[in-house]
Copies of this chain bind each other. A is one copy, B any other.
Amino acid sequence: MGGGHAADPVALPLTRSRGERADAARNRAHLIDVARRMVAELGVDKVTMDGLAERAGLGKGTVFRRFHTRAGIFFALFDEEEQRFQQRVMSGPPPLGPGAPAVERLVAFGRARLEFLAEHTALARAAFDPGRPNLVGDSPSLFHVQMLLSEACPDVAASGTLAVQLVAALEGPVLLYLQAPDDAPGPAPLIGTLADSWQVLVERVCDGGHTPGRSQ
């Protein structure tokens, strides 16, 4: 192949940016759209790759090319919500957004995050791909908690592991231990209780429980 008049030894493998082709982008958007509709209509675990492909009028191979795995679809869906959430965190009103002391922001972040996860539990769990780098590994949540923690108590935040553990304390219960949203009589009060515990956790970690008679 190509033995003829090869003027260029290398055909510029970097000719243009690795941007995806126009039709590919269109298909991706369409797939996400159809997927969201199917999730709303059938529920997460009734959405199959075949069904999605058929209903989108595309081949199965195309679906996998875009999203790599079944979880990948739900991750894409979840990620859209995640970005909306991030928006509120980064440029919304305090104390969730900037403009409040770090500890207050951490507390507010936890509460908001719990509500967010409670609202999107099904998606978040479906987006979880066992045996993979992972969901929260490079999540904006981790980054944000790490930042606020560094501001609130730099000594303890240095290693970075504490932030990971705090994020795990926040997300783990909802992602791992809670059951389906309509399992218990009321999920809302449980979320509220988790938020309260989170507040205790954060406040005690950050200022050591307000030691009397001794300033820090």
Chain A interface residues (CB < 8 Å from chain B):
45, 125, 128, 130-131, 133-137, 156, 159, 161-162, 164-173, 175-177, 179, 190, 193-194, 196-198, 200-201, 204-205, 207-211, 214
Enumerate chain B residues within 8 angstroms of A198, measured Cβ to Cβ: 165
Given A131-B125, A172-B172, are A204 and B208 also a contact pair (CB < 8 Å)? yes
Q: Say yes or no: B162 contacts A201, CB within 8 Å.
A: yes
> Which partner residue on chain B sits nearest A190 by CB separation?
B161
Given A209-B211, A210-B209, are A201 and B165 also a contact pair (CB < 8 Å)? yes
Could you list 25 examples of A-B contacts with CB < 8 Å? A130-B130, A134-B179, A156-B200, A159-B193, A159-B197, A161-B190, A161-B197, A162-B200, A164-B194, A165-B170, A165-B172, A165-B173, A165-B197, A167-B172, A168-B172, A168-B173, A169-B169, A201-B201, A204-B205, A204-B208, A205-B205, A208-B211, A209-B211, A210-B211, A210-B214
Kindly identify which residue among B175, B179, B194 contacts A165, using a CB–CB cutoff of 8 Å. B194
> Which partner residue on chain B sits nearest A156 by CB separation?
B200
> Which partner residue on chain B sits nearest A179 by CB separation?
B133
Shortest Cβ distance from A53 into chain B, in angstroms?
Answer: 22
List the number of copies, as a whole number: 2
Q: Say yes or no: A177 contacts B209, CB within 8 Å.
A: no
> Which partner residue on chain B sits nearest A163 by CB separation?
B197
Most B CB contacts (10 A, CB to CB) among A134, A166, A175, A177 go to A177
Q: Say yes or no: B176 contacts A172, CB within 8 Å.
A: yes
Q: Give the docked Cα–Cα distance between A133 and B169 (Å).
A: 18
